[in-house]
Structure 1
């Protein structure tokens, strides 16, 4: 089977299982989780005076790995359980065995696809946000500026997620983007207030 046929088959399986809707939901949810998490790390580092980019990057990557493992395995377990229930109910109503059928293959493809989207969403968000810190290691920018840039990227990324959700829901993109930006700003303010006594 050629690449084009495999892509066509993949699209068919996703359509059968409506996995695109599920994957989109996981993308929004886990991108949001990832970006707010890294926003907390960067803001906390800035407030407490942890300006050395290497430990901040280490903490960020460790967090990203944990979110990837958690997201992928959690989604696989949850989706496999739900899809197994659906398959059994369908088998009972149709009085046939659906194992190894096109439907069964579609379900397995959908589970894998949703798991990958779930895992990669926070990873991409975090890696994009710590890019300025990587630049600071090579003295392209200073570490404090890198932290400010990382926080700014987080806020912009949140706005992008909000706009994407607004497009999906057919709502005002600007308003939805501003809502998510507001959440990001609120997060930084709360962290700043709580950690201010620890400022070095």
Structure 2
């Protein structure tokens, strides 16, 4: 609990809570759309074994997560070091052992983990029907259709969350992100036919 409070303090003094939230949403959006695209691609092409579909989805999920962590860590570390150097120059002293120095070292990791965890979590939720079907559990519909439905629901919920953050209509915001997913699906269907 003490570490959580310290981390919350570091996020607060570095004004990074919004950055963490944005990274989570942006990369979660990318992860959900990527899964939507892969699964829809399999749904409209010649039937493939479920293991192949799962393998493609898991491969993309791992790549998105690793890309999210590494790109955010590299870019945020550079930004935090730059901000710390500017603050040190303005104060004419070394701040390496200060709260600002700790924030410059730890906040990039928090941002990177949020950026990598978002596509991982959303993608795992989206491909859950595929795993359930592979395990032999009876499903009410095709596992590909259920995965597509989960992807659309998650896209809508991301929009709802954005609406809550912005203080605007959660329905309008949710429908807007759902529309992005449906347009993406439409483009995939057009290009695939």
TM-score by length of structure 1 reads: 0.92
Q: Distance in 2 between matches of 1:189 and 1:143?
A: 24
For the 8 Å contact 1:57–1:130, the answer to whether it is kept is yes
For residues 8-27 of structure 1, the C-alpha deviation after alignment (integer angstroms, 9 at most, x for no partner) is 21211111112211000001
Shift of 1:142: 6.5
Aligned Cα root-mean-square deviation (Å): 1.5
The residue correspondences of 1:14-53 to structure 2 (distance < 5 A) are 14-53=11-50
For the 8 Å contact 1:44–1:195, the answer to whether it is kept is yes
Among 86, 92, 98, the alignment partner of 1:95 is: 92
For the 8 Å contact 1:167–1:173, the answer to whether it is kept is yes
- Other-structure match for 1:56: 53
Among 65, 74, 78, the alignment partner of 1:77 is: 74
Shift of 1:128: 0.3
Q: Distance in 2 between matches of 1:163 and 1:143?
A: 27
- Structure 1: 5+ residue stretches without partners: none
- Other-structure match for 1:165: 162
Shift of 1:51: 3.9
Kindly tell me the number of residue pairs found equivalent between the two proteins.
Answer: 193
- Other-structure match for 2:178: 181
Distance 1:22 1:73, change over 3 A: same
Among 83, 104, 109, the alignment partner of 1:107 is: 104
For residues 108-140 of structure 1, the C-alpha deviation after alignment (integer angstroms, 9 at most, x for no partner) is 221111110000000011100000101111222
For the 8 Å contact 1:14–1:109, the answer to whether it is kept is no
- Structure 2: 5+ residue stretches without partners: none
TM-score by length of structure 2 reads: 0.95
Shift of 1:50: 3.2
